[in-house]
Amino acid sequence: MLALSLVLLLTNCSKDDDFTIPLVETNEVTEITLTTATSGGTISSDGGATVTERGVCWSENQNPTIADNKTTDGKKEGSFTSIITGLTANITYYVRAYATNSKGTGYGSAISFKTLGDESGTVNYNFKTVKIGDQVWMAENLNITMYNDGKPIPNVTDPKEWDQLRKGAYCNYDNLESNAEIYGRLYNWHAVNSGKLAPAGWHVPTPEDWDILDKYLKDNGYGCDYSYTHEEIAQSLCAKTLWASFDEHCTPGYEPETNNSSGFTALPGGLRNDNYSVFVNMGAYGGWWSSTERTSGAAIGRELQSHQSFLSDHGGPKEEGRSVRLIKD
């Protein structure tokens, strides 16, 4: 009898050790108002044990847990919807789905969203501007999280999901809100192509808008003094800080205190590339979309790098995350 009891004990321990915490994914945040939002999740595995609780948790911290605010939305696998209430207007929150079994609690990826700032859902377009020749440009990178009709732009943090997107989205470099506060957001071209990033009287620049800027600077003394042609204008566009050092005349990384004679204040916000959706080159690279596609899979833009002296054309895949500047109509 003692031997049988020992066998049963070992068997039970072995089964318990086979359990894992549930696997869960966080749904996109939608229907955002001043004080409410909708999210949810999908439980792809219960870990071998019954799910006893599921829902979403949220807070102003980047990794909320069930010790923070949470919903309770059932006790089984599959998809579920969660209504988040009790929020404060004009605040950035982080939400992630959770599921609990006897082994513990599993969490999905955290997604950030910002509650509306007033009853109308008006987007705050309070940005700095600069006049260069006959053009008026933004003097900082776009930093909005809603389209101009008040609908939220999805913030997609998961790399696989981002890579497969064929609709508008934004992200923050390394998924950190602190980077967005300095460098602005990164948008895929599908968000640009929505036609809803700019307020009335403004638009995402065309390639021709960029060419006019480039020509004006070259024709009006903004080129590098060390250049034979005096047409290398990268330094005149780039901010005086944040660019990586580079030991070559006429580049933004060389004597950066002489940068930004145009007031454009280009920032090296990096990008989210189309190769596994990796964030790369913050501090050494700035890339901005135009409103025009190059091919069915790519769009036209412009780029600056800490080691190059020109504003260059680029044809980035539409799924890449790049910065956006707007220009006045």
The per-residue pLDDT for range 106-132, each reduced to its tens digit, is 999 999 999 876 544 456 688 899 999
Domains recognised in the chain with CATH numbers: 21-114 (2.60.40.10), 129-328 (no CATH)
The per-residue pLDDT for range 66-77, each reduced to its tens digit, is 999 999 998 888
The per-residue pLDDT for range 294-317, each reduced to its tens digit, is 999 999 999 999 999 999 998 799
Which of 155, 137, 121 is closest to 265 using CA atoms? 137
Which of 41, 51, 44, 56 is closest to 100 using CA atoms? 51
* Strand pairing report for 37-45 and 53-59: unpaired
Q: Are 186 and 165 in contact (CB under 8 A)?
A: no
**Mean per-residue pLDDT, 196-222:** 96
**E-only strand ranges, the chain:** 23-26, 37-45, 53-59, 69-70, 78-84, 92-101, 104-107, 111-114, 129-132, 135-138, 170-171, 186-187, 202-203, 271-272, 279-280, 285-293, 298-305, 312-317, 327-328
Distance, in Å, from the CA atom of 245 to the CA atom of 253, rounded to the nearest integer, reads 4
